[in-house]
Amino acid sequence: MKKTVTVVFLSLLFILIDSCSKEDIKVYELTAAASPAEGGSVSPSSGSFTSGEEVSITAKASGEYVFKNWSGGIRGTTNPAKMNMNSDKNVIAVFEMPDADNDGVTDSLDQCPDTSPGEDVDQSGCSPSDKDSDGDGVDDTTDLCAETPEGEEVNESGCSASQSDSDEDTIPDDIDQCPDTPAGETADELGCSPSQKDSDADGITDDLDQCQNTPEGETADSEGCSDSQKDSDLDGVSDDLDECADTPTGETVDSKGCSSSQNDSDEDGVTDDVDQCPDTPNGESVNARGCSASQTDSDEDGVSDDLDQCPDTPAGETVDTQGCSGSQKDSDGDGVTDNLDLCPGTSDGATVDADGCPLSPIYLDANGVTIKCYNWANVGDTGEINGITYTIVDEAMLRNMISTNQNVSNVCTTRVTDMSNLFRSKVAFNQPIGNWDVSNVRNMRFMFRSATSFNQDLGNWSVSQVTDCFRFSTNTPQWKLPKPNFTNCRESQFFSELDP
């Protein structure tokens, strides 16, 4: 009899121990996805695993996409990755299109795959240093002659002979018969200055010859004048024709023996020797150089001063017919000059960024989920993201929307700091609010208590500022999807199964 009692006792003890060990085993769920969805796949994409089990997960890119990193339940760039199943896991594999030269244009579209760092590129991925618009073998950033005629050879600056003027005498090298004209001398249509010519072949170069047309065969003196060309004031006009007998020494005269210091051909009050604009229109006022506004281009932009509405155009900038460059105009009045404005048709009164583009008060967080609003935005402002309109709310507005059973999935909650009791006893509430911005919330006490129908993924909520989460989700039997990861609240405060 004693032996039988002992056997029964040991059997009952084994059943009790076995029952307790089975109750201690926990099972956690894994869900995995690719972002963007077309970027690739994740294996396994889902599954149930026992607590503490080590799971290997692999991201496989599709097409031209490449794997970038993990987010959600695991972090990092290791692929395949391993993780310990100590809770439910929601894992995202992030893929991206490759851009080898980091110029903002993906390799599949980039026609210039080796753009140097920091250079601006066009939609084809090409910077000015990648292009040679006139096909002369010199890239556009170096090319000083942008429109070289086809087939002409160029120098290192991208200029051909027809575009170059080596001696700076205004005659291009391809027709210049006097390639070394001294600086400052005026050249003729063949590129020759007086110091390079002897027009009358009298042995005296034109710059020294005071008698340009010495008759053939006559001997000229050091001033290039023969006996038949002498005149008292040495102006090149014989005294019998000279109407200006006292021409200053060295001045060139006209057929009447008068020099430019004695003439005012355009009758503008400035003698010809000083007059840099010899054909001033009748009646126009001139400056000390003899030039009127219609003859002057002070900022050298190609528009004369009388028409130029922007007189101080920076050198090298292209201007319109009114003499204004893009850096001097703000066509849409948004405070950003046209040369910097990437959005030239901005509506009146719109707030813009540094590129001249209107700002939306609402934006999508870098995690691709959370809806946030800027500090300068106001409660009640709206903004559109991916075709959905979101409204900025404060705590009072949010609580009113919930109490009247309105849709709160399309709101921006950045302004809210207290969400205590927000859905308490809202037994029917189950709206997708995983995109809420709770980064400024301090209090989530009893937030979902007895919200018995709620089951949404709140794994992306940033709750690092929350210091009170007492009984956050007591009595939420349907809630199986990820909950916030509180770091400043003890989990025992809000996951208690003993809460009434």
User: Is 60 exceeded by the pLDDT of residue 19?
Assistant: no
User: Is 70 exceeded by the pLDDT of residue 437?
Assistant: yes
The residue-averaged pLDDT of 228-240 equals: 89
The predicted-structure confidence for 82-95, as pLDDT tens digits, reads as follows 999 999 999 999 99
Half-sphere exposure of 491 (CA within 13 A, CB side): 6
Predicted local distance difference test score (pLDDT) of residue 29: 96
Percent of the chain with pLDDT over 70: 92
Q: 355: which residues sit within 8 A by CB, 6+ positions away?
A: 336, 340, 341, 342, 343
**Considering the entire predicted model, what is its pTM?**
0.36
Which residue would you say has higher pLDDT here, 386 or 136? 386
User: Is 70 exceeded by the pLDDT of residue 34?
Assistant: yes
Which residue would you say has higher pLDDT here, 323 or 14? 323
C-alpha–C-alpha distance, residues 278 and 265, integer Å: 7
User: Is 70 exceeded by the pLDDT of residue 350?
Assistant: no
The predicted-structure confidence for 320-340, as pLDDT tens digits, reads as follows 998 898 888 988 887 889 899
Long-range CB contacts (< 8 A, 24+ apart) of 10-19? none
DSSP assignment string, 179-227? TTPPTT----TTS--GGG--TT-SSS-TTT-S-TTPPTTPPP-TTS--G
Predicted local distance difference test score (pLDDT) of residue 41: 96
What's the gap between Cα 14 and its chain centre?
A: 73
DSSP state of 90: E
Q: From its phi and psi, is residue 250 left (phi > 0), alpha (psi between -120 and 50) or beta?
A: left
The predicted-structure confidence for 287-323, as pLDDT tens digits, reads as follows 999 999 888 888 888 999 999 889 989 999 998 998 8
Residue 182: pLDDT band with limits 50, 70, 90: very high
What's the gap between Cα 177 and its chain centre?
A: 49
The answer to whether the beta carbons of residues 479 and 472 sit under 8 Å apart is: no
Q: Which residues of 142-151 are buried (b: 16+ CB within 10 A; e: fewer)?
A: ebebeebeee
C-alpha–C-alpha distance, residues 460 and 20, integer Å: 35
Residue 381 in tokens:
């402002």
Q: Which helix (H) or strand (E) holds 361?
A: none
The residue-averaged pLDDT of 12-35 equals: 68
The residue-averaged pLDDT of 336-352 equals: 77
What is the C-alpha radius of gyration for the chain, rounded to an integer number of angstroms?
44
The residue-averaged pLDDT of 24-45 equals: 94
Alpha helices in 339-413 (DSSP H): 395-403
User: Is 80 exceeded by the pLDDT of residue 2?
Assistant: no
The residue assigned the tokens 């496989």 is 60
Predicted local distance difference test score (pLDDT) of residue 7: 37
CA-closest candidate to residue 326, choices 285, 361, 356, 347: 356
Predicted local distance difference test score (pLDDT) of residue 8: 38
User: Is 60 exceeded by the pLDDT of residue 11?
Assistant: no
Residue 358: pLDDT band with limits 50, 70, 90: low
The residue-averaged pLDDT of 401-423 equals: 98
Q: 373: which residues sit within 8 A by CB, 6+ positions away?
A: 361, 362, 363, 381, 383, 392, 412, 414, 415, 437
C-alpha–C-alpha distance, residues 55 and 69, integer Å: 17
User: Is 70 exceeded by the pLDDT of residue 58?
Assistant: yes
C-alpha–C-alpha distance, residues 488 and 177, integer Å: 88
Predicted local distance difference test score (pLDDT) of residue 78: 95
C-alpha–C-alpha distance, residues 203 and 224, integer Å: 8
C-alpha–C-alpha distance, residues 126 and 110, integer Å: 7
Strand partners, 72: 91
